[in-house]
Amino acid sequence: VEDTATGGDHRRRRRVLFFPLPFQGHINPMFQLAGVLHSRGFAITVFHTHFNAPDASRHPDYHFVPVPDDDGGTPTPGDGGAPPAADTLHVTLERVLAVNRACEAPFRELLAALLEQRRDEVACLVADAHLLTLLDVARELGVPTLVLRTGSAACFRIFMAFPMLCDMGYQPARESELDLPVRELPPYRVRDLLSTSAAGHAVMSEVISRLVKAVATSSGLILNTFDALESAELASLRRDLPAAVQVFDVGPLHKLSPSPATSTSLLRQDRRCLDWLDTQAPASVLYVSFGSLASMSATDIAEAAWGIADSDVPFLWVLRPAIVPGSGAGAPPLPDGFLAAVDGRGVVVGWAPQEEVLEHAAVGAFWTHCGWNSTVEAVCAGVPMLCRPWFGDQMGNARYVADAWRVGVELDGEIERGKVAEAVAAMVMDGGTRRRARELGKRAAESVAGGASGVNVDKLASHIMAL
Ligand code: UDX
């Protein structure tokens, strides 16, 4: 272990405090970043909620501080934190605000206690961009703050432009204007913005203005992205943010972090699917997963299932327990006759070791919801994507996949079996998209191997040492 942060015998080891937002798509990159900084010699303390708490035993070198968060809700066992209501986005945003409220007082107390013992060691707090209240608490107690935003640079650009988008009438979106281009921010269309119902607009506006404030009042924005993917977007953020906020593009974090992906999974990853992939031909399998939060109706599942069956393509499908709201933690309902119809041509699991799956030679395409982590993981693995975004930043990510990088295609509208079968079969056959996906994957690998990502991590480490 390189130990640059100890500064030899003369100085004390510097400690970085982390506070992830307690959702899988936010926990993974936060722990990957912690792993990267730990390997640069920093000591690590992780503050976390009881809700979706990390498993401390998988990180014996880290110091964990549980923060009571009664308002944050109690997860249904094994559901990975999926809200039990149909409007997942709205419920998730409300929960984000609730976590801030519930943790404020206990975090203040616990951080003050830690500072009493270790003030000299503490370099800074790195918190999720959604945790403005807790970032404010840290600053009030004299701790410098950095923000990890777990989405793309392009998405943060949309957050910064949100007041303009509202003034110009793009948000909240009107049904009749969904296909219009957002001329100020190509390649977005109105439907790719963070649109929510008019009723959800108030909470969305509040959450976005808090995100922007969290970044603007911190001394750095850390993004899980890299120049080969988002150079123009990164340049625009560097231009538009206050000069005191440095932007660190330290992605792809999952390729830089020494910790295995299994160490932060909230659900048990079913590794048997890797053995099944070993038996399949190269680039032949469709991998299907919609991340940790998206919900589906039983009808959507049936249409997706029959579409996959009719495509005649081998598949590995992640159907998370409780993906159907209100269905409990049992296995989600597959339509009668589906398993007999596919006759061993595919495997359905509750949760997969996704990074390893995407890197497996047998995987030829990824039907994804375009969560940012899934998108970056697929880009790095060089796997083309069939994009079916659900909410939030996912539509914008899909737009980049399909129109900016051209490494995938979008499946628009309702999930319908005929459309699914056609799109899946076309995707697996499409040589052009596959070639571009492989090329982009190579550029990502060069960014890691060629050191650009590592240089940016070094810059971040120096910045932290200087705070
Ligand atoms: C959420 C939002 O949906 C996403 O848009 C935002 O950018 C981050 O927060 P989530 O829906 O969970 O995240 O999607 P994603 O960002 O793709 O993260 C899912 C993570 O779970 C990935 O790191 C993926 O590797 C992992 N995963 C997924 C598994 O380990 N196993 C699986 O079976 C599926």
pLDDT tens digits along 360-389: 999 999 999 999 999 999 999 999 999 999
pLDDT of residue 84: 39
What spacing in Å lies between the alpha carbon of 294 and ligand 1's midpoint? 10
* Mean pLDDT computed over 402-431: 92
Distance between CA atoms of 212 and 129, rounded to whole angstroms? 8
Cβ atoms of residues 237 and 231 within 8 Å? no
pLDDT of residue 329: 72
Distance between CA atoms of 251 and 456, rounded to whole angstroms? 9
Helix (H, G, I), strand (E, B) or coil at 43: strand
What spacing in Å lies between the alpha carbon of 264 and ligand 1's midpoint? 12
Among 88, 316, 370, 373, the mutation site with the greatest number of ligand 1 atoms within 8 A of its Cβ is: 373
Distance between CA atoms of 100 and 113, rounded to whole angstroms? 19
What spacing in Å lies between the alpha carbon of 375 and ligand 1's midpoint? 9
Q: Which atom of ligand 1 is nearest the CA belonging to 269? A: 31
Q: Report strand pairing: 43-49 vs 220-223.
A: unpaired
pLDDT of residue 90: 83
Distance between CA atoms of 345 and 315, rounded to whole angstroms? 7
Q: Which atom of ligand 1 is nearest the CA belonging to 292? A: 12
Q: pLDDT (tens digit, 9 = 90+) per residue, 426-446?
A: 887 788 999 999 999 999 999
pLDDT of residue 62: 97
Closest by alpha carbon to 437, among 392, 386, 394, 395?
Answer: 386
What spacing in Å lies between the alpha carbon of 371 and ligand 1's midpoint? 6
pLDDT of residue 326: 77
Highest mean pLDDT, choosing among 79-88, 121-130, 258-267: 121-130
Backbone angles phi, psi at 123, to 5 degrees: -90, -45
Is 50 one of the catalytic residues? no
Query: Two tokens at 270?
Result: 């079913």
* Mean pLDDT computed over 333-338: 92
Q: Which atom of ligand 1 is nearest the CA belonging to 351? A: 33
Helix (H, G, I), strand (E, B) or coil at 19: strand
Cis amide bond preceding 187, omega within 30: yes
Q: Could you tell me the pLDDT band of residue 173, with boundaries at 50, 70 and 90? A: confident
Q: pLDDT (tens digit, 9 = 90+) per residue, 50-107?
A: 999 999 999 999 999 999 997 544 444 334 444 433 478 888 899 999 999 999 999 9
Distance between CA atoms of 454 and 256, rounded to whole angstroms? 8
Average pLDDT, the chain: 91
Residues with CB under 6 Å of ligand 1 are 23-26, 28, 150-151, 265, 269, 289, 291-293, 318, 351-352, 354-355, 371-374, 377, 392-394
Is 343 one of the catalytic residues? no
Q: Which residue has the higher pLDDT, 76 or 140?
A: 140
- Choosing from 69, 79, 128, 300, the catalytic residue is 128
pLDDT of residue 5: 58
| Predicted model pTM | 0.95
What spacing in Å lies between the alpha carbon of 354 and ligand 1's midpoint? 9
* Mean pLDDT computed over 148-160: 98
ipTM: 0.98
Given phi > 0 = left and psi -120 to 50 = alpha, else beta, which region is 366? beta
Which residue, chain included where needed, has tokens 């295609």? 409
Cβ neighbours of residue 420 closer than 8 Å, sequence gap 6 or more: 303, 304, 306, 307, 308, 310, 311, 411
What spacing in Å lies between the alpha carbon of 355 and ligand 1's midpoint? 11
Among 27, 374, 393, 401, the mutation site with the greatest number of ligand 1 atoms within 8 A of its Cβ is: 374
The pLDDT > 70 percentage for the chain reads 93
Q: pLDDT (tens digit, 9 = 90+) per residue, 281-329?
A: 999 999 999 999 988 999 999 999 999 999 999 999 999 988 888 777 7
Residue 193 has pLDDT above 50, yes or no: yes
Cβ atoms of residues 402 and 410 within 8 Å? yes
Q: Could you tell me the pLDDT band of residue 395, with boundaries at 50, 70 and 90? A: very high
Q: Which residue has the higher pLDDT, 122 or 94?
A: 122
Q: pLDDT (tens digit, 9 = 90+) per residue, 44-60?
A: 999 999 999 999 999 99
Cβ atoms of residues 48 and 23 within 8 Å? no
